[in-house]
Chain A
Amino acid sequence: MAEIKKVLLNKEGLHARPAGALAKTAAGFKSKIELLFNQKKVNAKSSLSLMTLGLGHNAEFTIFADGEDSEQAIKTLSELIDKEFKI
């Protein structure tokens, strides 16, 4: 089990494209990955669920990963968020 607190840097918030990139990257890991924002926790492998959180610019949220590759998942997702989803 691993977790990390992040801040969303991209100006437009978690729009379709960044949500898609995040979900796609998360789906590449075996771990169960979830994102917590505003007391709501959703499946981070689902771009639809991520979009329903309405994460705006500067939103603070937490990512949780549970599984054999949880450390690596957290590291990769954290970098993706810092790079503002430019993959």
Chain B
Amino acid sequence: MITSAASTKIFKGTTVSKGIARGPLYFKRDINQNRNFVGKGSISEEQNRYNKAVVLSQTDLNQLIARMDKSHSEGREVIEAHLQLLEDPEVQDQVFGKIENGFSSTEAYTAVVEEFRTLFAQLDDEYMKQRVHDLDDVSKRVLFYIANPTEAYENISLSQPSILVSDDLSPSQLLSLDKSKVLGVVLKNGSTQSHTSILCRSLEIPCIVRTAVDMDTQGGNNVGFLDSIAGDLYLNPDSQVEAKLEAKRVSYINELKLLQSFRNQATKTKSGRLVPLGANISGPQDVDSVLKNDAELVGLYRTEFLFLDRVKAPTEDEQFEVYKKVFEGLPNRRIILRTLDIGGDKVISYLDLEKEENPFLGVRGIRLCLKYKDLFKDQLRAVLRASVHATDLGIMFPMVSTIEEITESKKIFAEVQKELSLKKIPYSTEIELGVMMEVPSLGFMLKEVANEVSFISIGTNDLFQYSNACDRMNADLGSISSPNHPGFLRFLKFIIQESKTYGLHVGVCGSIAHHPQIMPFLIECGVDDLSMTAQHVLEARKAIASIDDGQTNTKLS
């Protein structure tokens, strides 16, 4: 045991859920051994023994669900899945079969679980491989009850708030713990994809896995400091290290609190100018994160994911359901939906796309939609039908390079509206149309653009790529690929100011929208709103609150 205060030990792990915690370490050992020797009875005795163990396990899990916080839907789902594993007919048939062939119930069940373990290990998908841990969790309990039908399967009980250190922790063990007593979780094994990890994230318990913690040599009254942001567990830190960690913990908590204080309020600069912050989303799965991070609008709803990796195009009805779900999930917000934006760099079996020498300069975005008009019309029809569920909807066309593309798209849009009207299918008549500003030459056509649509959204990633002749994904380009380029910034300023001159609403979506130096510059140029990954919204809101309009450093351009 380590007694010297100077011998701080650090164990490195992989971050699962971020946070900082200090507290006594609780080393979990496997306490559920099969204490009673089990002999082998007759076939029917062994089958009954197995059945009884399954029933006792079901009772445990049902009680666990009953005790669980009703709002914790992820926890319920995990345990419900475990209940289903307990009742799995294939497991039961195979166990019974093996017992009939002379196995004891323990031997039979162990063998069946082993067979499934082998099958899972052969799967390619990392998430699926992890499901074997759910089976382990369930089978440990069943094996315990086969051996000890009159005893209670013990769960870990923490007498005081502690950092739990263990080889592994099953989802049901985690869920059976009193959450207020779990300061953190440190696992020697584990995986970021396991149910235990997923639950730690949803319960906001700091957690690291794959930690090289030496379980055998530790014991006694150990104090730990878990910095799961860095992925470190400090064992018995000396006073100097402890002070440093404590400072980090306090500032982390304060930062979180401060960010939370920016929830439910409009984003504005020091002088009070409103700069609504939006989230970029890809579908219904992102709705929660928009709400959680309090984004004021959706500045970019990318629809292409609905069209990728499938054998045929999504039907109008399928699209309608998806769009409706997003619109209903995000009421009272402006949502800018971008029509299908794909090109020759993607393989889409149902479209028969030509392989292009230079796909980023080829048939993509609106160019592709105007070529595959039926596909485009299906999408517009689905969006229009769903539009009655939206509060404030905008539709924008991607990769526009000519005014003709805008007029052609508007013509098709009007055709679809007319078709729906004839069929008496309702749609919103207040949808605004806009274009993505990604092709540099369109930046010098904003007067004409303003005659056709009411807003533009600057897609800074592609605009930069096209104006600076620089592949964003090429790591070898180093600083050349930084958007902090005076020429590019002047171009952005020009586009924003031209838009203002001609009465176009102008937003920026793309990763520079939350760039610490460029964001203030965009605001100073007069951008109307910004849209980014939802996780950046609160931080950006906080940064904007300290921007003193007119005082921004204009040296950037």
Sample of 20 further A-B pairs with CB below 8 A, known A23-B88, A48-B116: A7-B311, A15-B128, A16-B81, A16-B134, A24-B84, A43-B90, A45-B89, A45-B90, A46-B88, A46-B90, A47-B81, A48-B85, A49-B88, A51-B131, A52-B123, A54-B122, A54-B124, A54-B125, A58-B309, A58-B310
Check B91 against A48 for contact (C-beta < 8 Å).
Answer: yes
- Distance A30 CA – B89 CA, assembled complex (angstroms): 13
A75 adjacent to chain B (CB < 8 Å) = no
Check B310 against A9 for contact (C-beta < 8 Å).
Answer: yes
The interface bits of chain B over 297-319 (1 if a CB of A lies within 8 angstroms of the residue's CB, else 0) are: 00000000100011100000000
- Distance A38 CA – B131 CA, assembled complex (angstroms): 21
- Distance A13 CA – B135 CA, assembled complex (angstroms): 19
Provide a sorted-by-A list of 14 A–B residue pairs whose CB atoms are within 8 angstroms: A12-B127, A13-B125, A15-B128, A20-B81, A43-B89, A45-B90, A46-B88, A46-B91, A47-B84, A52-B120, A57-B309, A58-B309, A58-B310, A58-B311
Q: Which A residues contact B (CB, under 8 angstroms)?
A: 7, 9, 11-13, 15-17, 20, 23-24, 27, 42-43, 45-49, 51-52, 54, 56-58
A45 → B minimal CB distance (Å): 5
Write out the residue numbers on chain B whose beta carbons fall within 8 Å of the beta carbon of A11: 305, 309
- Distance A54 CA – B135 CA, assembled complex (angstroms): 16
Write out the residue numbers on chain B whose beta carbons fall within 8 Å of the beta carbon of A12: 127
Check A47 against B125 for contact (C-beta < 8 Å).
Answer: no
Residue of A7, A15, A49, A57 touching B127 (CB-CB under 8 A): A15
B119 adjacent to chain A (CB < 8 Å) = yes
B94 → A minimal CB distance (Å): 10
Write out the residue numbers on chain A whose beta carbons fall within 8 Å of the beta carbon of B119: 52
Per DSSP, chain A at the interface is mixed
Check A47 against B123 for contact (C-beta < 8 Å).
Answer: no
Write out the residue numbers on chain B whose beta carbons fall within 8 Å of the beta carbon of A48: 85, 88, 90-91, 116, 135
Q: Which B residues contact A (CB, under 8 angstroms)?
A: 77, 80-81, 84-85, 88-91, 93, 116, 119-120, 122-125, 127-128, 131, 134-135, 305, 309-311
Write out the residue numbers on chain B whose beta carbons fall within 8 Å of the beta carbon of A58: 309-311
- Distance A27 CA – B310 CA, assembled complex (angstroms): 29
- Distance A72 CA – B77 CA, assembled complex (angstroms): 28
* Minimum CB distance partner of B119 in chain A: A52
- Distance A58 CA – B122 CA, assembled complex (angstroms): 20
- Distance A2 CA – B91 CA, assembled complex (angstroms): 25
- Distance A12 CA – B193 CA, assembled complex (angstroms): 13
Write out the residue numbers on chain A whose beta carbons fall within 8 Å of the beta carbon of B135: 48
Write out the residue numbers on chain A whose beta carbons fall within 8 Å of the beta carbon of B88: 23, 46-49
* Minimum CB distance partner of A26 in chain B: B89
A35 → B minimal CB distance (Å): 12
- Distance A24 CA – B518 CA, assembled complex (angstroms): 53
Write out the residue numbers on chain A whose beta carbons fall within 8 Å of the beta carbon of B309: 11, 57-58
Residue of B85, B89, B116 touching A27 (CB-CB under 8 A): B89
Write out the residue numbers on chain A whose beta carbons fall within 8 Å of the beta carbon of B127: 12, 15
- Distance A24 CA – B311 CA, assembled complex (angstroms): 27
**Given contacts A17-B77, A54-B124, A47 and B85 within 8 Å (CB-CB):** yes
- Distance A20 CA – B77 CA, assembled complex (angstroms): 10
